[in-house]
């Protein structure tokens, strides 16, 4: 339970390139914040600086106003009272579940009664109240992970750091463990920094997400803000907008604009809360799933004609690569919805289709 | 309640310790240290003689020392016989060592006392302060280049790579005799090795071969890679894959791990020395910061580096000792009798950079990375 303040954090390795570049970030007391980005973006280096595994080249880190890293100050990791959860957080094989969770408390020289009480509480919190006496070899993978989490959190660290802890798990176990992680965070009121490259994971877990690239925070916001209002092209692409488009404003409207996609593409309506003069260029983003098949003939601004290039059957959805003028688009439409419009036939390459998209789903990047 | 006699005893041993430390300090300075090439910036604390460490371990109630890294060996039993009351608990760790140790370190939940591994993650761990510099009292005969930065770790044994083959698959005539033989297209799909696309034995051996050059140059590497060797993480699993008959040939180091499967009557045979080059790789030992059994940890390292410990590692563990004057493993040629032995280099941060280049080269030529 601590506020983490990071100011001007820079880390340069021997090669000279800045892995983290003048990063400023405040993680609120009790917040769950994810650092999200591709490999090499600086998220792990940032975490390692907070952990004390790396010495920053410059910058400061404070926990609740106490300097962990500042001019002349470098507090050793074990004195920062943190919990750390890595990918391989294997249990100590010769200790029972109880023993594993108790170990950090015993190291801290808590008395036996208190140790027993705190371990029992943690076992309960992770749903393993009856399993304390089991050795790790007698626990399932998921149970072991929960014991490992409990162990990391049992002495109520003020800050908990996660470094892609779930990336080795199969997807079912991953979803289950994700819920455990958040549940424990809420139950214990920790301040958590979670590093991941998986946007779904970041969105499911976080109060806020900081999207990083090239050592810099590209955008920080709630999952909804990041998902619906990407600040720039990188974020839009990374967070899953399949279509990134330049468009020319034809008419500025309330809450939006009528635009022409590309130079000679279709007219569509987009959402924006900025006023753009006609003729100005805007950058837009749309998810493949935002497009619909429109039944009627195209109506400028409401729907538009496009030619199908490829069709891929995904089971639930049909994925269509289409061309509208010079603009290539990716659409993913529910198979049942497509066939409802086409009276059962599936479009094939070369067919012309009418597409529509709601203005709210065609967002201006950085608006 | 400590008695006056004990207090006096302690004062005496502190004096003794200081005297020893001073003497050893002078000795090291006179030898002309290779310099502190980085590391945590700490001065290496010089240890007390083993009997002092043993007494300190007993006084502190330390009844074991937990070793992370390579598998246990006969010398651990010998250690416990020599120092009754201190058991060695060995936990095999491969591939995840750095992450595990970082986690224990950051969360303050230390279980491991000593790390023994061939991996250059020792350097990364040194940089993060996870290994505590330590110089045993008796280090005469340990060469300068055996020491990591600031004495945060040290080579305790050396391995020379060779080739093992499965006699059920290849006759002695068919078996490869040289490194160039491994690039022979008739061995395509039949070779296994510890994965060189990440830290470990495979990376170290290939790196040494390429640094030796000559017949084992970049062109040789391309031809070898074209034979599509199977890359398996860990020497032990690689040997198992060879023993199972899945592969015919393995490149690796012979030591107390690979030795037993190659014993008399086994289907596995060892080609050693291998013509053309003798890649020598070091195995390291280091004291983990905040070890729960710090005296026992230092005792184990001190003993393993002593003449007695080195002799055990050589005679019973089949490993080449690092200490001068200790005979090599029985039945093995002396190091100076081997072809093109890699000249010893200091293990410092330039090694990390050098290794990084090779790592990237191997990831490219084998088309994958761990």
Whichever domain contains A326, its CATH number is 2.40.50.100
Looking at the structure, tell me whether residues A175 and A256 fall in a common domain.
Answer: no
Helix (H/G/I), strand (E/B), else coil: B235: helix
Alpha-carbon span A114 to A122, nearest angstrom: 12
Q: In this predicted structure, what is the pLDDT of residue B18?
A: 43
Most confident of A47-56, A118-127, A163-172, B265-274: A47-56
Q: Cβ separation of A14 and B109 shorter than 8 Å?
A: no
Specify the 3-state DSSP secondary structure of B367: coil
pLDDT at B31 over 50: no
Q: What is the 3-state secondary structure (H, E, C) of chain A?
A: CCCEEEEEEEEECCCCCEEEEEEEEEECCCCEEEEECCCCCCHHHHHHHHHCCCCCCEEEEEECCEEEEECCEECCHHHCCEEEECCCCCCCCCCCHHHHHHHHHHHCCCCHHHHHHHHHHHHHHCCCCCCCCCCHHHCCHHHHHHHHHHHHHCCCCCEEEEECCCCCCCHHHHHHHHHHHHHHHHHHCCEEEEEECCHHHHHHHCCEEEEEECCEEEEEECHHHHHHCCCCHHHHHHCCCCEEEEEEEEEEECCEEEEEECCCCCEEEEECCCCCCCCCEEEEEECHHHEEECCCCCCCECEEEEEEEEEEECCCEEEEEEEECCEEEEEEEEHHHHHHHCCCCCCCCCCEEEEEECHHHEEECCC
CA distance A84 to A192: 10
**What is the mean predicted confidence (pLDDT) over B285-295?**
97
Residue B39: band (very low, low, confident or very high) from pLDDT cuts 50, 70, 90: very low
Task: Express each pLDDT in B294-327 by its tens digit.
Answer: 999 999 999 999 999 999 999 988 889 999 999 9
A134 or B279, greater pLDDT:
A134
Contact list, B99 vs chain A (CB under 8 Å):
86-88, 163
For residue B284, the number of C-alpha atoms closer than 13 Å in the C-beta half-sphere is: 31
Of A237, A259, A278, the last residue of a domain is A237
Contact B127, A53 (CB under 8 A): no
Average pLDDT over residues A336-348: 92
pLDDT band at B346 (very low <50, low <70, confident <90, very high): confident
Spatial contact of A55 and A35, defined as CB atoms under 8 Å apart? no
Q: What is the mean pLDDT of residues B192-216?
A: 89
Cis peptide before A199 (omega within 30 of 0): no
What does the pLDDT average to over A237-247? 95
Q: Show the domain range for A220.
A: 4-237
Same domain assignment for residues A153 and A278: no
B31 near A CB under 8 A: no
Alpha carbon of B2: minimum distance to chain A alpha carbons (Å)? 21
**What is the mean predicted confidence (pLDDT) over B16-39?**
37
Cβ-based contacts of A85 with chain B (< 8 Å): 103
Tokens of A103: 């170990």
Q: Measured between alpha carbons, how far is A173 from A149 in angstroms, rounded to an integer?
A: 14
Confidence of residue B255 (pLDDT cuts 50, 70, 90): low
Q: How many helices (H) and strands (E) does chain B have?
A: 11, 13
Sign of CA pseudo-dihedral B240, B244, B250, B254 = positive
Two tokens at B359? 């790592």
Are the beta carbons of A200 and A186 closer than 8 angstroms?
Answer: no
Q: Is pLDDT of B19 > 80?
A: no
Q: From CA B94, how far away is CA B79, in angstroms rounded?
A: 24
Q: Is the pLDDT of residue B11 over 80?
A: no
Helix (H) or strand (E) holding B284: strand B280-288
Pairing of strands B134-135, B45-46: parallel
Yes or no: say if B147 and B208 are a contact pair by the CB < 8 Å rule: no
User: Inter-chain contact B109–A90, Cβ cutoff 8 Å?
Assistant: no
The set of residues, in sequence order, having a beta carbon less than 8 Å from that of A268 and lying 6+ positions away, is A247, A258, A259, A261, A301, A304, A357, A359, A362
The reported pLDDT for the residue numbered A367 is: 77
User: To 5 degrees, how large is the angle CA B347–CA B348–CA B350?
Assistant: 115
* CB-based contact B331:B318 (threshold 8 Å): no
CA B59 to chain centroid, in Å, comes to 30
Name the residue with higher pLDDT: B65 or B259: B65
Determine the average pLDDT of the residues in A36-41. Answer: 94
Give the HSE-up count for residue B65: Cα atoms under 13 Å, Cβ half-sphere.
33
User: What are residue A183's DSSP bridge partners?
Assistant: none
pLDDT at B43 over 70: no
Q: Which residues of A334-343 are buried (b: 16+ CB within 10 A; e: fewer)?
A: eeeebbebee
Of residues A150 and B40, more confidence is placed in: A150
Judge if A128 and A18 occupy the same domain.
yes
Please provide the average confidence, as pLDDT, over all residues in chain B. Answer: 84
Q: How far is B226 from chain A (nearest CA, A)?
A: 29
CA–CA distance, B75 with B144 (Å, rounded to integer): 24
| Radius of gyration, alpha carbons of chain A | 25
Looking at beta carbons, which residues of chain A come within 8 Å of B107?
82-84, 104, 152, 157
**Among the ranges given (B59-73, B243-257, B300-314), the one the predictor scored with the smallest mean pLDDT:** B243-257
Domain's final residue, options A205, A237, A269: A237
Q: Which two tokens stand for residue B324?
A: 């001068």
Does one domain contain both A72 and A176? yes
Q: Which two tokens stand for residue B207?
A: 């790196």
CA distance A287 to A331: 8
Structural tokens at position A266: 């279709």
Q: Do A179 and A124 share a structural domain?
A: yes
The answer for residues whose C-beta is within 8 angstroms of residue B356's C-beta and 6 or more apart is none
Q: Is B349 on the interface with A (CB under 8 A)?
A: yes
Q: Which pLDDT band, with edges at 50, 70 and 90, does B263 fall under?
A: low
Matching residue, tokens 């004990």: B6
pLDDT at B193: 94
pLDDT at B240: 87
Residue B26's pLDDT band (cuts 50, 70, 90): very low
Residue B360: name the closest of B197, B232, B212, B120 by CA.
B197
Q: Do B107 and A104 touch (CB under 8 A)?
A: yes
Least CB–CB distance from B102: residue in A53, A76, A83: A53
At A312 the pLDDT is 97
Q: pLDDT tens digit string along A260-306? A: 998 889 999 999 888 899 999 999 999 999 999 998 888 888 899 99
Q: Judge whether residue B16 has pLDDT over 60.
A: no
- Give me the residue label for tokens 């250059």: B120
Does B111 contact A103 at a Cβ distance shorter than 8 Å?
A: yes
Structure tokens given for A60:
């400061």
Q: What's the residue count for chain A?
A: 367
Is residue A93 within 8 angstroms of chain B, CB to CB?
yes
- Average of per-residue pLDDT across A90-103: 91
**Which residues does residue A217 pair with via DSSP β-bridges, in sequence order?**
A212
Place A168 in a pLDDT band, splitting at 50, 70 and 90. Answer: confident
- Tell which residue, A34, A31, A367, has the closest CA to residue A228: A367
* Angstrom distance (rounded) from CA B315 to CA B296: 24
- CATH code: domain of residue A52: 3.40.50.300
Instruction: Please identify among residues 11-30 of chain B the ones whose CB lies closer than 8 Å to any CB of chain A.
Output: none
**pLDDT score of B42 more than 80:** no
| Phi (first) and psi of residue B16, to 5 degrees | -60, -45
pLDDT at A255: 85
- Shortest Cα distance, chain B CAs vs residue A28, angstroms: 21
| Residue A82 scores a pLDDT above 90 | yes
Span B126-135, pLDDT tens digits? 999 999 999 9
pLDDT over 50 at B54, yes or no? yes
From the list A207, A181, A185, A178, the residue with the least C-alpha distance to A34 is A207
Distance between CA atoms of residues B104 and B100, nearest Å: 6
What's the token pair of residue B289?
């910061």
Is A98 found in the same domain as A211? Answer: yes
> Percent of chain A, pLDDT > 70?
99
Residue A227 above 90 pLDDT? yes
- Check A53 against B110: CB less than 8 A apart: no
Domain end call among A180, A214, A237: A237
Please state the φ and ψ torsions of residue B127, each to the nearest 5 degrees. -60, -35
Residues A78 and A135 placed together within one structural domain of the fold: yes
Q: Does A82 reach chain B within 8 Å, measured CB to CB?
A: yes
Number of domains making up chain A:
2
CB-CB under 8 Å, B110 with A77: no
Would the pLDDT of B27 be above 70? no
Residues A190 and A307 in one domain: no
Q: Looking at the complex, does the CB of residue B89 fall below 8 Å from at least one CB of chain A? A: yes
B102–A51 C-beta distance less than 8 A = yes
If asked whether residues A159 and A233 sit together in one domain, one would say yes
What is the structure's pLDDT at A88?
Answer: 64
Residue B20 has pLDDT above 60, yes or no: no
Please write the tens of the pLDDT for every residue from A120-146: 999 998 889 999 999 999 998 888 888
Question: A225 and A84, same structural domain?
Answer: yes
Same domain for A150 and A291?
A: no
- Please work out, in degrees rounded to the nearest 5, the angle formed at the alpha carbon of residue A18 by the alpha carbons of A14 and A21: 150
How many other CB atoms sit within 10 Å of the CB of residue B214?
A: 13
B99, B102, B70: which is closest to B234 by C-alpha? B70
Distance, CA of B350 to CA of A15 (rounded, Å) = 12
Both tokens of B160, joined, read 């020379």
pLDDT for B38: 35
pLDDT, position B328? 92
Contacts for A5 with CB less than 8 Å, ≥ 6 apart: A25, A26, A60, A61, A62, A65
Q: Which residues of B touch A53 (CB under 8 A)?
A: 102, 105-106, 128
Cβ-Cβ contacts under 8 Å, A76 against chain B = 129
Instruction: Give Cβ neighbours of residue B221 (< 8 Å, ≥ 6 apart).
Output: B206, B210, B361, B365
Of all residues in chain B, the percent with pLDDT exceeding 70 is 84
Same domain, A346 and A332: yes
Confidence class for position B259, pLDDT limits 50, 70, 90: low
What is the phi/psi pair of residue B147, to 5°? -90, 140
Confidence class for position B347, pLDDT limits 50, 70, 90: confident
Tokens of A99: 């023993």
């Amino acid at each position: 339970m601590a506020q983490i303040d990071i100011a001007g954090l820079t880390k340069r390795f021997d090669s000279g390139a800045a892995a983290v570049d003048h990063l400023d970030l405040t993680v609120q007391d009790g917040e769950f914040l994810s650092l999200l980005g591709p490999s090499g973006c600086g998220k792990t280096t940032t975490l390692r600086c907070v952990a004390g595994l790396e010495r920053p080249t410059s910058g400061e880190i404070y926990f609740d106003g106490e300097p962990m890293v500042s001019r002349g100050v470098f507090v050793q990791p074990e004195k920062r009272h943190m919990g750390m959860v890595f990918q391989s957080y294997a249990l100590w094989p010769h200790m029972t579940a109880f023993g594993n969770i108790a170990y950090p408390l015993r190291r801290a020289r808590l008395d036996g009664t208190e140790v027993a009480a705190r371990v029992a509480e943690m076992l309960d919190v992770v749903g393993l109240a009856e399993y304390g006496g089991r050795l790790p070899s007698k626990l399932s993978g998921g149970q072991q992970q929960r014991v490992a989490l409990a162990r990391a959190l049992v002495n109520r660290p003020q800050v908990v750091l996660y470094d892609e802890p779930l990336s080795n798990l199969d997807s079912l176990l991953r979803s289950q463990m994700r819920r455990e992680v958040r549940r424990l965070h809420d139950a214990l009121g920790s301040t958590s920094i979670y590093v991941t490259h998986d946007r779904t994971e970041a969105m499911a877990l976080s109060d806020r997400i900081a999207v990083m690239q090239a050592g810099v925070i590209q955008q920080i916001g709630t999952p909804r803000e990041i998902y619906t209002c990407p600040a720039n092209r990188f974020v839009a692409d990374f967070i899953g907008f399949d279509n990134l488009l330049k468009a020319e404003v034809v008419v500025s409207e309330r809450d939006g604009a009528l635009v022409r996609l590309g130079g000679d593409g279709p007219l569509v309506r987009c959402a924006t809360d900025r006023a753009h003069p006609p003729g100005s260029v805007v950058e837009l983003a749309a998810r493949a799933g935002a497009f619909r098949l429109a039944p009627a003939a195209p109506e400028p601004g409401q729907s538009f004609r496009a030619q199908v290039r490829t069709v891929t059957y995904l089971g639930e959805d049909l994925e269509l690569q289409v061309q509208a003028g010079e603009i290539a688009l990716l659409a993913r439409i529910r198979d049942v919805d497509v066939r409802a419009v086409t009276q059962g036939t599936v479009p094939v390459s070369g067919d012309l289709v009418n597409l529509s998209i709601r203005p709210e789903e065609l967002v201006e990047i950085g608006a | 309640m400590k008695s006056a006699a004990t207090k006096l005893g302690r004062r005496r041993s502190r004096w003794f310790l200081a005297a020893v430390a001073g003497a050893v300090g002078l000795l090291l300075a006179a030898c002309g240290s290779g310099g502190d090439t980085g590391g945590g910036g700490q001065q290496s604390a010089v240890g007390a003689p083993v009997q002092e460490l043993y007494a300190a371990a007993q006084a502190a109630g330390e009844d074991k020392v937990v070793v992370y890294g390579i598998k246990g060996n006969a010398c651990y039993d010998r250690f416990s016989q020599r120092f009754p009351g201190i058991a060695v608990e060995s936990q095999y760790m491969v591939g995840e060592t750095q992450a595990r140790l970082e986690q224990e370190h950051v969360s303050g939940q230390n279980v491991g006392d000593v790390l023994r591994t061939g991996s250059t993650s020792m350097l990364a761990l040194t940089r993060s302060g996870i290994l505590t510099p330590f110089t045993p009292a008796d280090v005469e005969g340990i060469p300068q280049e055996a020491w990591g930065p600031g004495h945060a770790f040290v080579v305790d044994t050396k391995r020379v790579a060779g080739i093992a083959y499965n006699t059920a698959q290849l006759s002695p005539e068919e078996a490869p005799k040289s490194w160039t033989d491994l690039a022979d297209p008739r061995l395509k799909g039949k070779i296994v090795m510890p994965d060189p696309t990440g830290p470990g034995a495979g990376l170290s051996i290939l790196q040494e071969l390429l640094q030796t050059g000559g017949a084992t140059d970049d062109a040789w590497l391309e031809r070898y890679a074209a034979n599509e060797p199977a890359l398996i993480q860990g020497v032990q699993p690689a040997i198992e894959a060879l023993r199972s008959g899945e592969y015919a040939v393995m490149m690796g180091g012979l030591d107390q791990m690979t030795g037993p499967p190659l014993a008399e009557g086994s289907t596995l045979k060892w080609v050693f020395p291998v013509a053309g080059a003798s890649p020598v790789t070091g195995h390291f030992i280091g004291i983990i910061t905040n070890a729960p059994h710090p005296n026992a940890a230092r005792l184990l390292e001190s003993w393993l580096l002593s003449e007695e410990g080195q002799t055990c590692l050589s005679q019973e563990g089949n490993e080449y000792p690092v200490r001068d004057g200790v005979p090599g493993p029985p039945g093995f040629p002396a190091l100076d009798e081997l072809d093109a032995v890699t000249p010893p280099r200091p293990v410092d941060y330039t090694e990390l950079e050098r290794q990084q280049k090779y790592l990237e080269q191997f990831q490219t030529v084998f088309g994958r990375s761990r």
